[in-house]
Amino acid sequence: MSVTKALPHDAARLHVTGAARYVDDIPVPADCLHLAFGLAPIAAGRITTLDLAPVRDAPGVALVLEAADLDRPADCSPSAHDEPLLSGHSIHYLGQPVFLVAATSHLAARKAARRAVIETQKRDAVLSVDDALGVNARFEDGPRIWEKGDAGEAIDAAPHVVTGAIDVGGQEHFYLEGQCALALPQEGGDMVVHASTQHPTEIQHKVADALGLPMHAVRVETRRMGGGFGGKESQGNALAIACAIVAAKTGRPAKMRYDRDDDMTITGKRHDIRIEYSAGFDEEGRLLGVEFVHLMRCGWAQDLSLPVADRAMLHADNAYHLPSARIESHRLKTNTQSATAFRGFGGPQGMMGIERVMDHAAHVLGLDPLEIRRRNYYAEADDSAAAHGAEGTASRLSGKVKPPGGPDPDSGAAAAPAGSEPVKDAADNPHVDLASRGAQGTVPEGRAPEGTHAAQTTPYGMAVEDFVLGTMTGRLAESCDYAARRAAIAEWNAQSEVLKRGLALTPVKFGISFTLTHLNQAGALVHVYQDGSLVLNHGGTEMGQGLFQKVAQVTAEVFGLDTGAVKITATDTGKVPNTSATAASSGSDLNGMAAKTAALTIRDRMADFLAAEHQARAAEVRFDGGMVTVAGSEMPFAEAVKRCYEGRVSLSSTGFYKTPKLQWDRIKGQGRPFFYFAHGAACSEVVIDTLTGEHRILRTDILHDCGRSLNPALDRGQIEGGFVQGAGWLTSEELVWDDDGRLTTHAPATYKIPACSDRPDIFNVELWQEDNREETIYRSKAVGEPPFMLGMSVFFALSDAIAACGPGYPMLDAPATPEEVLRAIGRARG
Amino acid sequence: MAQTRMIRLTVNGETGSYTVPVRQNLVDFIRNDLGLTGSHVGCEHGVCGACSIEVNGDLVRGCLMFAVQADGAEITTIEGLAESGRGAALRAAFTARNALQCGYCTPGMLATALDYVEGGGAADRDAIRAHLSGNYCRCTGYQSIVDAVCDVIEGRVEA
């Protein structure tokens, strides 16, 4: 078996010897130009004078472009066509690219860019949530509102009501490799672009659009990224477009790499959010109704903010059955970097609301927070309903036809403002980026399959039928000795004046699929060469997560080979077209399935031929252990391939996959946006110093649901890394803008991501390996994003420790920096 | 002051003379002039550790040292370690433990880990964590990196 093996990362050998190439490592011709942007010095207003003569005169400068110099508008937006590459005279955030310098070296370009004389006329910048609400600066006409039942009435009638608000900060991706792109001009005006991107197809589309070329004239290649985390879904567009424009104008290769300060100043980050909540509980701590208001700062351009804010709403329930709920989401427009995708894509923000409600209610009702959480969990999945189909049937899904019928007109309980989201016909507008999560779907979807009758539903009407957190939580609580440690900590805190400990066990239930249904498709290309070696290409990109290895395992498995037989090649829009971003945790699910389909096509052709040769049936041909067996005779795979080649059998195939069962109406907030849910639970113990607010994570125990893991070693890496990144988001990673709208934390000297010494002293990670009930690739589950939210356990452990300081509820905001912890201690003490 | 200066140094065992701009960072010289792109540029102001290399036996941030300051120095990069076989056990352990994901921090992390191991560091997780704390990794959560270093010190790795 190749799948389920804990194989190391396919590029590990290259990484440890320094041989792995990133975009900036690709050798370039000597005449390559290097690019830098000149940035806006104010957050809002107009440029009254832009004198670029000193820039043009700087040493090494070959070309300087401002917006008016572009032959055609160049847009970088993945959605609303509202991000011009260069600002023109109107400025929307401090750090917005105003002009572009191309010079003979990276340093020469950067030095030249600083020589511009820019005079400006400032206007009042809209920076905060309150600023934006005050002037009604927002995307979409009004808030998006989804409702289930009458939450207001349920809360009014509830014996216990908790109300409050929580501010949750944004997060810088801090991919170790900054944004980078390289454009190489080709014959006939064609362009080849190497980009550090999670979305080569979007780069292809945006570059083609900027150059006025059809997509077939642009080829984008991505071998790997030095980290992405969502920050390279749309934020690399500007660099690739800039390089392509300069390359087209000059006929010379052009490369652009942001240095770290520019990267953090220019690019978008995770959306920060203020969540206002009101929740009613019965005497036993069961939630009766809850209302959330999400106030999200989206920055100056739309980017992916609508689907991010949607996903925050979609995770407002996290693991809890909400009998009635009202979720109101405001997507606020501010003069800051355009907030963008970041691991979890709004899901983490949405979950923080309900987790705060549970924590707050536990404090008010005097219950253990874990107890109140468990009482409100969705009902556990019915084991008898679990699908345990044979492996190998999954590939047939690719041809499955959705059941006919349109959306149920009676199913929408939501009261969203009608008609606020006109769906444009993409065919009429060639600028629309169809493969972006910021796009609008235009193809009507079939009706989602009905859930079993008794299943509980999410606030958006999806039946929850695969919930396993009840069992998982029980297992984790036992293995981490939750109850005994809870008691021990209470005792310890009673004796300890200055230091206080806290403990929290929090769940994660994360929906897997792109919420824009048409993105849930993937393609792959497999070649088998005469010598029995294979080449694999698919639409997913490698950013360290191990996607390439997982898909190679799937491909090797089909032929009964070791992964060593499979060469994994760079993602290339010329090989597999119309790909979706490697995002939404969907990489292995989609591309694994597509690759399997391609491999099965070739294997079936080989089996047919070999069977005919031996007067056997194709079904009897076996591919296993590097050998092919037919009618009692056994030959090495390479020999079988040679025979097939000489028998004129096609040894190359594409494969295609689309996720079944999806149907989603984002305006109504109704349907089945997710194929399945991935689960996890974490228990963290922390200690705080009540004099300084400093804190440490003493121990974390994690149990995470990977389905039947394709590769437990890679999955473990995602879990550990995701947890630490999530904990960083909620503790040390603080973005600070000054009153002028300048991001003051624009480098790691002022922005603190977790270091090796920050992770838990004791760190136990276990995989929950039970088959996915849905027919995913070898019954595995997606694991990219879900573990990120395990970091919430640290935040609520801190809240627990602070609560030990006094009678009040701490009302802790995130990130829980030492300063914030001190403030919360003050609130707890009253 | 002259804008360039001639330096002579030994990189990965090869000695050569080069004319370098006086303000050029060592890591830029190594990457752009020598083509040794295994040393990565992460933050360019000495915080992330991705450009960590060995200069005269000391662990140095390639972005905080000028190339001219390396005149006469002996430098070992990740490529040099791989060629000489030094650090083979760490490379094997990083691979086996999956102590890397995107790999961008790996060359600097390996150099720092090697500094600890060759300095006689003990398989004490707290001490290892403290030693590695100047090298950021955004992917792994560090657990597997510390595991890998412990494996090497405790002789659990076949190089």
Express each pLDDT in A185-202 by its tens digit. Answer: 999 999 999 999 999 999
**CB of A260 closer than 8 Å to CB of A748:** yes
- Of the candidates A35, A5, A14, which has an alpha carbon nearest to the alpha carbon of residue A570? A14
DSSP β-ladder status, A218-222 and A571-572: antiparallel
The answer to whether A249 touches A150, Cβ cutoff 8 Å, is no
- In chain B, count of helices (H) and strands (E)? 6, 5
Measured between CB atoms, which of B37, B44, B95 is closest to A12? B95
Give the residue on A whose Cα is nearest the Cα of B93.
Answer: A16
Residue A408 pLDDT level (bands cut at 50, 70, 90): very low
The beta-carbon neighbor of B42 closest among A176, A544, A723 is: A176
Tell me the percentage of chain A whose pLDDT exceeds 90: 91
- Is residue B134 within 8 A of residue B112, CB to CB? The reply is yes
Which residues in B lie closer than 8 A to residue A8 (C-beta atoms)? Answer: 95-96, 98
* Chain A contact for B141 (CB, 8 A cutoff): yes
What pLDDT does A448 receive?
56
Look at the block and give the residue holding tokens 């065919």: A427
- In this structure, which amino acid lies at residue A650? S
Residue B17 burial by CB count (10 A; 0-12/13-18/19+): exposed, middle or buried?
exposed
pLDDT tens, residue by residue, B49-103: 999 999 999 999 999 999 999 999 999 999 999 999 999 999 999 999 999 999 9
User: What is the model's pLDDT at position A440?
Assistant: 75
pLDDT at A125 over 60: yes
Given CB atoms, is B39 within the 8 Å cutoff of chain A? yes
Residues with Cβ within 8 Å of residue A205, at least 6 apart in sequence: A215, A433, A434, A435
Our CA-based measurement puts residue A789 at a distance from the nearest CA of chain B, in whole angstroms, of: 14
Can you give the residue ranges of every domain in chain A?
A: 29-123+179-257, 126-170+272-382+457-516+675-829, 521-658
So what's the pLDDT on residue A409? 36
How many Cβ atoms are within 10 Å of A185's Cβ, its own excluded? 19
Q: Please, what are the domains in chain B?
A: 4-81 (3.10.20.30), 87-153 (1.10.150.120)
Higher pLDDT, A635 or A387: A635
3-state SS track over A15-62: HHHCCCCCHHHCCCCCCCEEEEEEECCCCCEEEEEEECHHHHCCCCEE
Q: What is the pLDDT of residue A444?
A: 54
Residues A651/A527, Cβ–Cβ less than 8 Å: yes
Q: Which of A5, A7, A176 to probe by mutation at the B interface, max B CB count within 10 Å?
A: A176
3-class secondary-structure state, position A218: strand
Per-residue pLDDT reduced to its tens digit, B99-154: 999 999 999 999 999 999 999 999 999 999 999 999 999 999 999 999 999 999 99
| Min Cα separation B47/chain A (Å) | 6
Range A458-484 burial, b when 16+ CB lie within 10 A, else e: bbbbbbbbbbbbbbbbeebbeebebee
* A 419-438 residues with CB < 8 A to B: none
**In the predicted model, is pLDDT for residue A410 greater than 90?**
no
The answer, for A788 touching chain B at a CB cutoff of 8 Å, is no
pLDDT band, very low/low/confident/very high, at B34 (cuts 50, 70, 90): very high
- Residue A415 pLDDT: 37
- Judged by average pLDDT, the poorest of A23-27, A445-449, A679-683 is A445-449
User: Which amino acid, B39?
Assistant: S
Say yes or no: B22 contacts chain A, CB-CB below 8 A. no
Pairwise CA distance, residues A110 & A105, whole Å: 9
What pLDDT does residue B18 have?
98
Q: Do A16 and B94 touch (CB under 8 A)?
A: yes
| Among the ranges given (A318-322, A422-426, A535-539, A563-567), the one the predictor scored with the smallest mean pLDDT | A422-426
* Interface contact flag, A747 B47, Cβ < 8 Å: yes
Closest Cβ–Cβ partner in B31, B103, B142 for A544: B103
| Mean pLDDT of the residues in chain B | 96
Task: State residue B158's pLDDT score.
Answer: 75
Alpha carbon of A294 to those of A277, A286, A350, A802: distances in Å? 9, 23, 8, 25
Please check the confidence at residue A412 and state whether its pLDDT lies above 50.
Answer: no
Q: What value, to the nearest 5°, has the Cα angle with vertex A535 and ends A533 and A536?
A: 140
ipTM entry: 0.98
**Given this model, what pLDDT does residue B159 score?**
66
Domain topology for A126-170+272-382+457-516+675-829: Aldehyde Oxidoreductase; domain 4 (3.30.365)
Record: contact A226-B82, CB cut-off 8 A: no
pTM of the full predicted structure? Answer: 0.94
* Residue of chain A whose alpha carbon sits nearest to that of B95: A12
Best residue in B104, B116, B126 for a mutation probing chain A (most A CBs within 10 Å)? B104
Pairwise CB contact (< 8 Å): B110 & A16: yes
Q: What is the identity of the amino acid at B64?
A: L
A627-630 and A622-624 strand pairing: antiparallel
Query: Looking at domain A29-123+179-257, what is its CATH homologous superfamily?
Result: Aldehyde oxidase/xanthine dehydrogenase, a/b hammerhead (3.90.1170.50)
Half-sphere exposure of A660 (CA within 13 A, CB side): 16
Across the interface, do A229 and B138 touch by the CB < 8 Å criterion?
yes
Residue A784, H or E segment:
none
CB A82 within 8 A of CB A306: no
Cβ distance B42 to A16 less than 8 Å, yes or no, reads no
Residue A399 has pLDDT above 90, yes or no: no
Q: Decide if pLDDT at A646 tops 50.
A: yes
- Average pLDDT in the A496-514 region? 98
For chain A, the average pLDDT equals 93
Pair A416, A667: CB distance under 8 Å: yes
Question: Binning pLDDT at 50, 70 and 90, where does residue B40 land?
Answer: very high
> Which of A220, A228, A48, A57 has its CA nearest to residue A122?
A48
Fold exhibited by the domain A521-658: Aldehyde Oxidoreductase; domain 4 (3.30.365)
Interface membership of B29 toward A (CB under 8 Å) = no
Strand runs (DSSP E) across chain B, as ranges? 4-11, 14-21, 52-55, 58-61, 74-76
Respond yes or no on whether the N-terminal peptide bond of residue A815 is cis (omega within 30° of 0). yes
Predicted local distance difference test score (pLDDT) of residue A90: 97
Cα B71 → chain centroid: 19
- DSSP 8-state class, residue A425: -
**What are the residues whose beta carbons fall under 8 Å from the beta carbon of B74, sequence distance 6 or more?**
B9, B10, B55, B56, B57
* Band of residue A454 on the pLDDT scale cut at 50, 70, 90: confident
Q: Residue A400 above 90 pLDDT?
A: no
Residue A417: pLDDT above 80? no
pLDDT top residue among B158 and A774: A774
- Active-site residues of A, by number, are 785
In this chain, the answer to whether the domains covering A126-170+272-382+457-516+675-829 and A521-658 adopt an identical fold is: yes
Q: What is the pLDDT of residue A384?
A: 45
Q: Which of A753, A756, A763, A764 to mutate to test the interface with B (most CBs of B within 10 A)?
A: A756
pLDDT digits (tens, 9 = 90+) for A296-317: 999 999 999 999 999 999 999 9
CA distance A319 to A458: 10
In the predicted model, what is the mean pLDDT of residues A512-531?
97
> In this complex, is the C-beta atom of B9 within 8 Å of any C-beta atom belonging to chain A?
no
The pLDDT value recorded for residue A442 is 63
Nearest to A176 among B35, B48, B90 (CB): B48
